[in-house]
Chain A
Amino acid sequence: MAADWMILLPYIFLAGGGLFIFCAAILRPDASGLYFAIALASVVLAGIAAVFHPPGINFGGMIDAGGYARFFAVLVCVVSSFTLLLSLRYAEKKGIAGDEYFALILFAALGMCLSAGATNWIVFFLGLELLSISLYVLIGSSHDEPASNEAALKYFIMGSVASGFFTFGVALLFTATGSLNIADSLSNVQAGVSALALFGLSLIATGIGFKVSIVPFHLWTPDVYQGAPAPITAFLSTGSKAALFAALLRFSLVMSPELFSYMTPVFWGLAAITMIVGNITALAQTHIKRLLAYSSIAQMGYVLMALLTVRHDGGASVMFYLAAYALMDLGAFGTVALLSRGGSDIDTLQDYQGIGYSNPWASALLAVCLLSLAGLPPTAGFIGKIIIFKSVVGAGFIYLAITGIVTAIISVYFYLNIIVTMFMRPEKVPVDLAFRVDPLGVALSGCILTAVILLGVLPSPLLSLIERVLYSFRI
C-alpha cells in the first residue's frame, strides 16, 4: 500500500508546493524570492519524482502511472520550470511577483499532469478545470494593463463555455456506455455506436478543441496570447496544449476502431482547415505575439494531422512533435518575455528591428525557434515535421499531406520576415544605449537553443524513449 502512494509523488510535490507558498505568504508577505525558490524546488522535485518513481500501472483506476503519463509529467515539469525562470525578472519588472503568481503556476502544472495522466473522466475533468481556473487568474495577473484584464475575461468566457460543452459530453457518454473509465467508455461503444455516444463525443471534442485552439474554435487565441504576460503566454501555449493533446492521443489510442472511423473525417477536416487558416492569417500579422499565436494554431493542425495516423504507428510522431513544439514555442514566447523592459511587452515588428546586434543570444533563440516552427533543418521542428509527413503519407492521407506541405512552405515567409527584421535592418536605438537581457536570460536562451538544435541533430534517443513508452501503453 505504501508503494501505491509513491506513484502520486509528482502530484503531491506540485500541490504541496503550491499550498506551502500560500501558507508562507501568510507568515512572510512580500517575500517573492522565497515563493519563487519554493515553486522552482517543487517543480524540479516533481520532475525527478516522475522520472524515478517506482513503476506502477494505475492508481485505483484513476491515474495512469505508466511511462506515458510520466513522459508528459516530465515535459510539463520542464515547461513549468522554464516558465518560472522566465518569470523571475519579468514579474519583478512588472510588479506582479507574489505568492499567487508562483503558486498558481504550480497548480496549473498539476492540472496539466492530471489531465495528461487521467484514466477516469472525473480526474480528467478535475485536471482540466484546475488548469483552466489557474490560467484565468494568471492571464489577468498584470493588474495595471487593460489588455491583460481583457484577455483574462475573454479566456474565461470561452473557457467556461467550452467546459460546459465538455462536461455535458462526458455526461452523455456516461449515459450511453455506463462507465466513467476513459478506456471502457470509449471502447464499449463498439457494441453498437449509439447516437447519444457520438453526440457526447463530439461535444467532448468541441470542449478540448477550444482549449487547444483547433480552427473553428480558435478565435480567442490571438487576443489572449497578446494580452497575457509573456511568460504566461509561453506556459499557456506549450504546457496546456501538450497536456490536452496527450489526453486526445490517449482517447484516440483506446477508442474502439468503429468509433475512430467516425472521428477520422472530422479530424481530417479540422486538421486541414486549421493548417490553412492558421498559416494564412499569420501572414497578415504585424504583432509578434499575435503572429506566434496564429503560428501555434497552425502547429496544432500538424499535430492533429498526425493524430489521424495513430492506428498506423503515428502515436510516436504526435509525442515527438509535442515535445519539440513545447520547446520551440517556449523559446519564441520566452524571448518576448526576456526582451520586455517593464511596461507593456515589446510587440510590434518594428520594435524588433536590428535587435540582433544588441541582444545576440535572445535574438538567436528567437531565430532558431522560428526556423524550427517553420520546419527548417537542423532543428527539432524539422525532424518532427518529417516524421509527421512520413506517417501521414504512410497511412494514405495524401491530400492532407500535400495541404500540410504547401501551408508549411507558405509559413516560411512570415517566419523569415521576423528574422530578417531582427538581423538585417539597422537598429533604431544605438547599440550601446539599447536594452540588454540580464545574464540569467542569456543562460536560459542558451539552454533552450541548445535543446532545440540537439533534438534536431540527435532525435534518436527521444524517439526510442517514445517508442518504449508507447509500447508499454499498448499492453
Chain B
Amino acid sequence: MIASYNELILLSIFVFILGAVCSASRRNLIMILVGVEIMLNASGIALIAGSLRWGILDGQVFVIFIMALAAAEVSVGLALIIYSHKRTGSVNSDDYSRLRG
C-alpha cells in the first residue's frame, strides 16, 4: 500500500512538533541540536508529500539541499559546543549566562 498525501502531511506535522518540543524543553545543548535536526527532517517529509501531491520533483530536490545544509550546520554547531565544553565543562544551556542585563 502506498501512503497517501494526507497521511504524510500528518506524519510530518507530528514529527515537527516532536522536534520543536525537544528543542524548546531540553536544556542540554546537544539535545537542542537533535531537536533541530528532527524539525529539518520533518520538513523533508512535508516536501516529499508535496512532491507526491503535485507530481513534481522540486520538493525532492529541496530535500537533498536540506540534508547537505543540515550536515554543515551540525558540524559547525558541534564544533562550537565541544569548544564551549572544553572551556566551561558544561553542555547545559543554563550555564551560559554571562551576557545579560
- Main DSSP-derived SS at the B contact region: helix
Assembly CA distance A170 to B65 (angstroms) = 13
Establish whether residues B99 and A226, one from each chain, have CB atoms under 8 Å apart when the complex forms.
Answer: yes
Assembly CA distance A149 to B53 (angstroms) = 44
Establish whether residues A174 and B50, one from each chain, have CB atoms under 8 Å apart when the complex forms.
Answer: yes
Among residues 69 to 96 in chain B, which have CB atoms less than 8 Å away from a CB atom of chain A? 69, 72-73, 76-77, 80-81, 83-84, 87-88, 93, 96
The answer, yes or no, to whether A168 is at the interface (CB within 8 Å) is yes
Q: Pick the contact of A133 from B29, B73, B100 — CB < 8 Å?
A: B73
- Segment at the B interface, from A159-167, A300-308, A373-381, A431-439: A159-167
**Least distance between A437 CB and chain B CB atoms (Å):** 26
Establish whether residues B96 and A150, one from each chain, have CB atoms under 8 Å apart when the complex forms.
Answer: yes
Which residues of the other chain, B, contact A150 by a CB distance below 8 angstroms?
Answer: 84, 96, 98-99
**Least distance between A82 CB and chain B CB atoms (Å):** 26
Assembly CA distance A161 to B31 (angstroms) = 12
Establish whether residues B59 and A156, one from each chain, have CB atoms under 8 Å apart when the complex forms.
Answer: no
The answer, yes or no, to whether A231 is at the interface (CB within 8 Å) is no
Assembly CA distance A126 to B70 (angstroms) = 11
Assembly CA distance A211 to B72 (angstroms) = 19
**Least distance between A160 CB and chain B CB atoms (Å):** 5
Interface string of A208-247 (1 = CB under 8 A from B): 0000000000000011001100000000000000000000
Decide yes or no: A156 and B76 within 8 Å by CB, A164-B23, A168-B46 being known contacts: yes
The answer, yes or no, to whether A21 is at the interface (CB within 8 Å) is no
Establish whether residues A174 and B99, one from each chain, have CB atoms under 8 Å apart when the complex forms.
Answer: no
Which residues of the other chain, A, contact B46 by a CB distance below 8 angstroms?
Answer: 168, 171-172, 174-175
Q: Which of B29, B96, B100 has the most CB of A within 10 A?
A: B96
Decide yes or no: A153 and B23 within 8 Å by CB, A168-B16, A178-B53, A223-B99 being known contacts: no
**Least distance between B8 CB and chain A CB atoms (Å):** 9
Establish whether residues B99 and A140, one from each chain, have CB atoms under 8 Å apart when the complex forms.
Answer: no
Establish whether residues A287 and B77, one from each chain, have CB atoms under 8 Å apart when the complex forms.
Answer: no
Which residues of the other chain, A, contact B40 by a CB distance below 8 angstroms?
Answer: 163-164, 167
Which residues of the other chain, B, contact A222 by a CB distance below 8 angstroms?
Answer: 99, 101
Which residues of the other chain, A, contact B66 by a CB distance below 8 angstroms?
Answer: 125, 167
Establish whether residues A157 and B93, one from each chain, have CB atoms under 8 Å apart when the complex forms.
Answer: yes
Closest to A180 in B: B58
Assembly CA distance A178 to B77 (angstroms) = 33
Establish whether residues A163 and B59, one from each chain, have CB atoms under 8 Å apart when the complex forms.
Answer: no
Among residues 1 to 55 in chain B, which have CB atoms less than 8 Å away from a CB atom of chain A? 9, 12, 16, 19-20, 23-24, 29, 32-33, 35-36, 39-40, 42-44, 46-47, 49-50, 53-54
Known contacts A156-B77, A160-B36, then 12 further A-B pairs from the complex at CB < 8 Å, ordered by chain A residue: A126-B65, A140-B80, A150-B84, A152-B80, A153-B29, A161-B23, A168-B46, A171-B12, A175-B46, A178-B54, A223-B100, A287-B101
7 interchain pairs, CB-CB under 8 A: A122-B62, A153-B80, A153-B84, A161-B39, A171-B46, A171-B59, A178-B56
